[in-house]
DNA sequence: AAAATGACTGTAAACGGTTACAGTTGGATA
DNA sequence: TATCCAACTGTAACCGTTTACAGTCATTTT
């Protein structure tokens, strides 16, 4: 691939002049500029971003680590963030953490080696201390999405998952349910733990004792909704309502329940979490907890851009509040 | 951020030695290696990938351009590709084309400037000629996903969308339907056009005349299923079956039909396209055309890796074949 | 004892850009 | 006419690595 030097020879000018043309420096005569532009076109020249970044010590790039590249949640997050960053004339490099400590660390290393101007991190398993170390020592500003590390409270954008769980279950207790089962995500994820503790708080508030047998841990995947339902039945515990920690699992669970001839919501009320677009298309339409993902993505990108420009980003523990969306999968408790 | 020189000073060795340690060169004594490692740790050293890539002329990176970062189709595609590439010890940089010529070009430029070892391109709007130019002049091998450019047939991995459309509609004609409407994606996308021509072929084969009034162009989004249904009714054309070019739109359309009190499949049969996970959770479960997205992602990554290593990738116009998945949204035609 | 070898380490020239600084013009100003 | 300045262009150092080549030892080999 052609270099600036070849272009300069071809156009009979110095490398400095070519560089000036590339960077839109105004001290170049029109004639020269045209010559250089023609040479660049002729040789198919594309600036080498490595050399450029090396010389300027700027990458014009924001790095993002997320758990899973598929998945509607992250999709929206990425999309919004990318829009915002592209609009600012920069670029986003996305890597996946794959839910393992090693992979998350590797992803961050990759971005750090690429000297990104800022990091947007959605980390599921990396220990707090590691994150703090990166914040302290990497020299790169960072935004923490959907995770609260007390020491980094000023660069966290998080969702109050505890409140989300609470709202979901409170809705059920308000409807008169007292036997409320729950299907959680993997409990090594803070999200899942927080939602579970919201579940407990709502029960407590309603004076209902916490019963371990009503809790099944799963994996946040669609298929993850199926087995847990079977397990609940095998445990022979009764429940008239089910709080499922994300919509994906809820869809799977609803299907299994229907397969068993259970009427929703007459016999079992169901609340999901995330408010995916599909939530309103299943039958019955799913009552769920809405999460402002798009805002999330947009805001994190804006913050990252600000921080990378050394502007103060008054993040101040931005904590989004989830909202309950009531549809048709929940109904008042009725005795059988 | 610390450089190799600082590390070398700190450890009292030369830069070459530090570089050797970084690269695992064996001609370094254990004592020296330990000294260097300690120095690196102490100074929080991370190799500068720019300098490195500049010196070696290798980026160990594969670039990917896709239409939309959200969306279940691309999610899976990215995910599989990333897995494969990470396993090979390389990294994937993903950028979005945003469905505009300018943006797609910009995304490719970005990746080219970053000197990626290969490109995986899912382009919706960039003209063929541009793609050919890139293939010819960029010096970077490329894999074309889901698009067929005759000149680049040997680096295309595509799905036979025409066949997909055909299968969907043939299923309907086989069921006795003769008034079959269709909702297409944006017709500037080759996918949509191909599916539409599959629709026409199936009709022709069944001896049914093509009727423009039964065709509505839409946008591949969920909401995109709603208005077209209304338009069909406003046009006062009768139809007993509906081929909708992706599942997302199908979900929207099913909902609108239900809202109008139309029974599916008794009054209107519906076939979607993509076989998203949700297809089996809606009611009735959606008959649809399955696309091997995961294979797509995996294979494109493997090809890209091979090409970047200068190994021959015998792509040879890899054309995946879609499959019809029959569920409950289609039924034999019955007179009203 | 001299030469050869193997194990290790250092020097310095790339890699492809940017940019401070130093020219070289030609025209305007004193 | 001498001086200055604005407009433009070139030279060369530098960014942080890698790596060919050249050393320096301590062991072996002859």
Which whole-number Å values give the CA distances from A333 to A57, A239, A259, A288, B212, in the listed order? 63, 10, 22, 18, 52
Mutation site for B-interface testing, chosen from A40, A43, A69, A108 by largest number of B Cβ within 10 Å? A69
**In the prediction, which pLDDT does A319 show?**
83
Residue A280: CA count within 13 A, CB half-sphere: 13
Q: Which residue has the tokens 């101040």?
A: A316
Q: Say which nucleotide is closest to residue A27, CA to C1' distance.
A: D8
Which chain A residues touch B254 with a CB distance below 8 Å? 281
- % of chain A surpassing 70 pLDDT: 99
**Per-residue DSSP letters for B123-154?**
-SSS-HHHHHHHHHHS-S-EEEES---GGGGG
What per-residue confidence (pLDDT) applies to A309?
86
Per-residue pLDDT at B172 exceeds 70: yes
Q: Which residue has the tokens 């990294």?
A: B91
Q: Would the pLDDT of B77 be above 90?
A: yes
Q: Contacts of residue B138 in chain A, CB cutoff 8 Å?
A: 1, 44, 46
* pLDDT score at A330: 97
Whole-number distance in Å between A28 CA and C27 C1' = 18
Q: B18 CA, D25 C1': separation in Å?
A: 20
Q: What angle do CA B84, B87, B91 make, to 5 degrees?
A: 80
Q: Would the Cβ of B58 be found within 7 angstroms of any atom in strand D? A: no
Among the ranges given (A221-225, A230-234, B5-9, B72-76), the one the predictor scored with the smallest mean pLDDT: A221-225
* Predicted pLDDT at B104: 94
* Cis, peptide link before residue A265, omega less than 30° from 0: yes
Minimal Cα–Cα distance from A140 to chain B, Å?
Answer: 10
In sequence order, the 6+-apart residues with CB closer than 8 A to the CB of A316 are A153, A154
Give me the pLDDT at residue B315, please: 61
Sign for the pseudo-dihedral over CA of B253, B256, B260, B263: positive
pLDDT bucket at B137, cuts 50 / 70 / 90: confident
pLDDT number for residue B37: 93
Averaged pLDDT for residues A278-289: 91
Residue A314 pLDDT: 67
Chain A residues touching residue B94 (CB < 8 angstroms): 69, 93-94
Structure tokens at B74: 């691309």
Residue B247: CB atoms within 10 Å? 28
Q: What is the mean pLDDT of residues B96-117?
A: 92
Question: What is the predicted pLDDT for the residue at A336?
Answer: 63
Q: Which of B1, B69, B115 comes nearest A78 by C-beta?
A: B69
For residue A172, the model assigns a pLDDT of 98
Q: Which SS3 state, helix, strand or coil, does residue B67 take?
A: coil
Q: Which of B95, B251, B281 sits opposite A91 (nearest CB)?
A: B95
Q: Give A119-128 pLDDT, tens digit per residue.
A: 999 998 899 9
| Overall CATH class of domain A4-47 | mainly alpha
Whether the domain at A4-47 and the domain at A161-291 fall into the same CATH topology: no
Is 3.40.50.150 the CATH number for A161-291? no
Nearest to B54 among A46, A50, A137 (CB): A50
Backbone angles phi and psi of B143, in degrees to 5: -120, 130
Q: From the CB of residue B58, how many other CB atoms can be counted at a distance below 10 Å?
A: 13
Q: What is the mean pLDDT of residues A113-141?
A: 92
CA pair distance A159, A321, nearest whole angstrom: 6
What residue spans define the domains of chain A? 4-47, 60-160+293-320, 161-291
Task: For residue B153, name the pLDDT band (cuts at 50, 70, 90).
Answer: confident
Inter-axis angle of helices B247-259 and B226-234, to 10 degrees?
Answer: 50
A16-54 confidence digits (pLDDT tens): 999 999 998 888 999 999 999 999 999 989 999 999 999
Nearest nt to the CA of A58 via C1' is: D15
The more confident residue out of A69 and A214 is A214
Query: Per-residue b/e over A179-206, b at no fewer than 16 CB within 10 Å?
Result: bbbbbbbbeebbbbbbbbebbbbbbeeb
Instruction: Report whether pLDDT(B143) > 70.
Output: yes
Q: Per the CB < 8 Å rule, is A91 touching B96?
A: no
- Nucleotides in chain D with any atom closer than 7 Å to protein CB: 7-12, 14-20
Cα A45 from Cα A19, distance rounded (Å): 12
The percentage of residues in chain B with a pLDDT greater than 90, rounded to a whole number, is: 75
Tell me the pLDDT band of A154, cut-offs 50, 70 and 90: confident
Q: How confident is the model at residue A283 (pLDDT cuts 50, 70, 90)?
A: confident
Q: What is the mean pLDDT of chain A?
A: 92
Is A312 a residue whose pLDDT tops 90? no
Stretch B144-157: mean pLDDT: 89
Find the farthest-apart pair of alpha carbons in chain B and give their distance in angstroms, rounded. Answer: 91
Average pLDDT (A78-97) is 92
Q: Under CATH, which architecture does the A60-160+293-320 domain have?
A: 3-Layer(aba) Sandwich (3.40)
Q: Looking at the predicted structure, is the pLDDT value of residue B253 above 70?
A: yes
| A315, pLDDT greater than 70 | no
Q: Is the pLDDT of residue B151 over 70?
A: yes
What whole-number distance in Å separates Cα of residue B22 and Cα of residue B29?
14
Q: What is the pLDDT of residues A170-205, one digit of tens each?
A: 999 999 999 999 999 999 988 899 999 999 999 999
Nearest CA distance, B79 vs chain A (angstrom): 5
User: How sure is the predictor about B115, in pLDDT bands with cuts at 50, 70 and 90?
Assistant: very high
CB A282 within 8 A of CB B279: no
pLDDT of residue A278: 86
Correct CATH for B60-159+293-319 of 3.60.10.10, 3.40.190.10, 3.40.190.170, 3.40.50.2300: 3.40.50.2300
Per-residue pLDDT reduced to its tens digit, B266-313: 999 999 999 988 898 888 999 999 999 999 899 999 999 999 988 877
| pLDDT(B125) > 80 | yes
Question: Is there a cis peptide before residue B284, judged by omega within 30 degrees of 0?
Answer: yes
């Amino acid at each position: 691939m052609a270099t600036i030097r070849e272009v300069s020879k071809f156009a009979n000018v110095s490398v400095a002049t070519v560089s000036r043309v590339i960077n839109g420096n105004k001290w170049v005569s029109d004639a020269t500029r045209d010559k250089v532009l023609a040479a660049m076109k002729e040789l198919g020249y594309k600036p080498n971003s490595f050399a450029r970044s090396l010389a300027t010590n700027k990458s014009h790039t924001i790095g993002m680590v997320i758990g899973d590249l598929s998945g509607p949640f992250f999709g929206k997050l990425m999309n919004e963030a990318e829009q915002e960053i592209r609009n600012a004339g920069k670029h986003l490099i996305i890597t996946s953490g794959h839910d393992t400590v090693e992979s998350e660390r590797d992803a961050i290393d990759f971005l750090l080696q690429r000297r990104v101007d800022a990091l947007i991190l959605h980390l599921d398993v990396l220990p707090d201390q590691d994150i703090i170390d990166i914040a302290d020592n990497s020299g790169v500003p960072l935004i923490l999405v959907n995770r609260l590390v007390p020491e980094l409270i000023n660069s966290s954008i998080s969702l109050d998952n505890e409140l989300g769980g609470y709202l979901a279950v409170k809705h059920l207790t308000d409807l008169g349910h007292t036997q409320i089962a729950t299907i959680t995500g993997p409990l090594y994820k803070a999200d899942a733990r927080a939602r579970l503790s919201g579940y407990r708080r709502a029960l407590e508030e309603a004076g209902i004792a916490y019963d371990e047998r009503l809790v099944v841990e799963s994996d946040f995947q669609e298929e993850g909704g199926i087995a847990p339902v079977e397990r609940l039945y095998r445990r022979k515990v009764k429940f008239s309502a089910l709080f499922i920690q994300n919509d994906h699992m809820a869809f799977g669970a609803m299907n299994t329940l229907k397969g068993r001839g259970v009427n929703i919501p007459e016999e079992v009320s169901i609340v999901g979490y995330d408010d995916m677009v599909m939530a309103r298309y299943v039958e019955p339409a799913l009552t769920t907890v809405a999460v402002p993902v798009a805002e999330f993505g947009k805001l994190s990108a804006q913050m990252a851009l600000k921080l990378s420009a050394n502007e103060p980003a008054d993040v101040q523990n931005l904590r989004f509040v989830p909202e309950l969306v009531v549809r048709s999968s929940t109904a008042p408790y009725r005795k059988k």
